Amino acid sequence: MLVVLDTNIFVSALATPTGLCAKILDAWRRNSFTLVISQYILDELSRILVKKIGLDAEFVYAQLHVLHELAFVVEPALVFVDGIADNDLPILGTALSGSAKIIVTGDGVLLALKQYQSIQVISPKIFFEKYITSA
């Protein structure tokens, strides 16, 4: 199953290492799903972790390198959706370009879409309950 995790999922996983988002990342590491990611997501994650949260840049780059090497990296398709912030469009574009079936996000605006084309947009809780605990 091809899945895009929004940047906020990675940040939440790091902020709460025993929380739900961390469990989702652990499930990916156990090959419960295939992670689809883009350089856009990696760059956004780097910016947030280094500049906003203040983590050590070398540590962040090492972690992002692992993601880049182990995930399915795609170039986001250009998409336009009314009411969606410009910084969220590449998340949709990553899923579209990578043929993902699911986007997992905590972003309320994206969650309100429920679906983009044939891609489900769901919360971490729903993803975990439906696809991880049942696996």
* Alpha-carbon distance values, 9 to 20, 82, 104, 125 (Å): 9, 23, 7, 11
Q: How many Cβ atoms are within 10 Å of 71's Cβ, its own excluded?
A: 20
Q: What is the mean pLDDT of residues 53-75?
A: 92
**Residue 100 has what pLDDT?**
98
pLDDT higher than 90, residue 55: no
Burial of residue 74 (number of CB atoms within 10 Å: 0-12, 13-18, 19+):
buried
Rg (Cα) of the chain, in Å, rounded? 14
- Longest CA span, the chain: 38
Residue 134: pLDDT band by 50, 70, 90 thresholds?
Answer: low
Q: What is the mean pLDDT of residues 50-74?
A: 91
Q: What is the mean pLDDT of residues 4-21?
A: 93
Query: Is the entire prediction scored with pTM above 0.75?
Result: yes
Judging by DSSP bridges, how do beta strands 115-116 and 72-74 pair with one another?
unpaired
pLDDT higher than 60, residue 135: no
User: In CATH, what is the architecture of 2-132?
Assistant: 3-Layer(aba) Sandwich (3.40)
Query: Could you state, in order of their start, the residue ranges of all structural domains in the chain?
Result: 2-132
Beta bridge partners of 103: 4, 121
